[in-house]
Amino acid sequence: MRKRRVQLLLLAGLVAGVAAGAAEAATIDRVVVGVTGRNATVGFSAALYVEVMVESNYRKTSFDGDHGVWVGPPYRSTKNASLGGNAGADWTVYFDKGLTVKQAQAKHFVQQWARLQAASIEVPHIVGQTRVAKIKGTWLLTKGPGDTNSQFEGVLTFPLCRGVVVSAEFAFLTPFSVSDNTGGQYRVYASPGDKDAVTWNHGAAVLAPAEVALLGYLPAAQIGPVSILKPAGSTTHAVAGRVLDCSGTPMPSVPVRVGNTTARADERGIFQVHVPSAGDYPVTVTAGGGTVRKTLRAG
């Protein structure tokens, strides 16, 4: 599976070494952006996804389209081995239209705990095997009240385009406390070694935004002209341009129709089609739920 690296510009107290890490897991769930019936994402493609990867040491137990549940390694009391269970996490992806990133982020905190840490996140936007952009998002982490509380909730929020904002909410609620209330401590037993409940859930929560990516085309929105360098004395003619989506990102390998000819753009979103004569040619691109038309002159 591919590894995703995110740059975390920490504002306060983030665990040393986590920022440069990359999470890798065997399972990826895909939340459809342009799903039928969701008003906020009307006009987006059903082949555009927000991807959420299951973290290492967890496995997926359920996924219903926009909400997933993970189960992690066992935890138990250091005083009474019969007290314990399994670490757990769940996540939900939301879409809002007409809200700022800050407004959408605040909206999707379920627990409404006190703010603990914040970071700037670069969410990878991938088309096929090409990383076409890094979308600037924000991550805010909160913690349950009390020194022994080991619960954390975080929300990653980032913009798409057309006023649509994505929020991915993660909750790490079990183990719920580092104390077993009998004088013992809850510890999570994973390989290698074991960690107290607070350290375990905090570490997992810090890595959560690294599990999110955008996969597929955003709606096509712009065809820009591109200059062609022709050999001296050449009598050939070509129409060339560059296709951008609604966020201004190039669209690699997107199909382009020039007159009666269909071609594909390269990895930079640039296309070039040879035509029989000079003149104006209609160019049409349909991808990602958007269609854009423009007349370009053959050079």
- Which one has a higher pLDDT value, 18 or 178? 178
The answer on 119 and 43 residing in a single domain is yes
Instruction: Give pLDDT tens digits for 245-283.
Output: 999 999 999 999 999 999 999 999 999 999 999 999 999
The answer on 235 and 101 residing in a single domain is no
Confidence (pLDDT) at 229 = 65
The answer on 160 and 80 residing in a single domain is yes
Residue that finishes a domain, picked among 215, 238, 270: 215
Instruction: Give pLDDT tens digits for 188-245.
Output: 999 888 999 999 999 999 999 999 999 999 999 999 988 876 665 567 899 999 999 9
CB 50 within 8 A of CB 40: no
Q: In what order do the strands lie in the sheet with 220-225?
A: 220-225, 237-245, 270-275
DSSP type of residue 15: P
CB 3 within 8 A of CB 126: no
The answer on 142 and 11 residing in a single domain is yes
Residue that finishes a domain, picked among 215, 245, 277: 215
Provide φ and ψ at 279, rounded to 5°. Answer: 140, -175
The answer on 174 and 191 residing in a single domain is yes
Confidence (pLDDT) at 195 = 96
The answer on 280 and 204 residing in a single domain is no
Residue that finishes a domain, picked among 166, 194, 215: 215
The answer on 242 and 194 residing in a single domain is no
Q: pLDDT over 90 for what percent of the chain?
A: 84
The answer on 243 and 136 residing in a single domain is no
Total number of domains in the chain:
2
Range of the domain at 161: 4-215
CATH number at residue 255: 2.60.40.10
The answer on 226 and 199 residing in a single domain is no
Residue 12 CA neighbour count, 13 Å, CB half: 7
Instruction: Give pLDDT tens digits for 41-56.
Output: 999 999 999 999 999 9
Instruction: Give pLDDT tens digits for 1-17.
Output: 444 433 333 333 333 33
Instruction: Give pLDDT tens digits for 114-131.
Output: 999 999 999 999 999 999
Confidence (pLDDT) at 299 = 72
Q: pLDDT over 70 for what percent of the chain?
A: 89
Confidence (pLDDT) at 234 = 67
Instruction: Give pLDDT tens digits for 69-90.
Output: 999 999 999 999 999 999 999 9
- DSSP of 229-281, one letter per residue? -PPTT---EEEEEEEEETTS-B-TT-EEEETTEEEE--TTSEEEEEESSSEEE
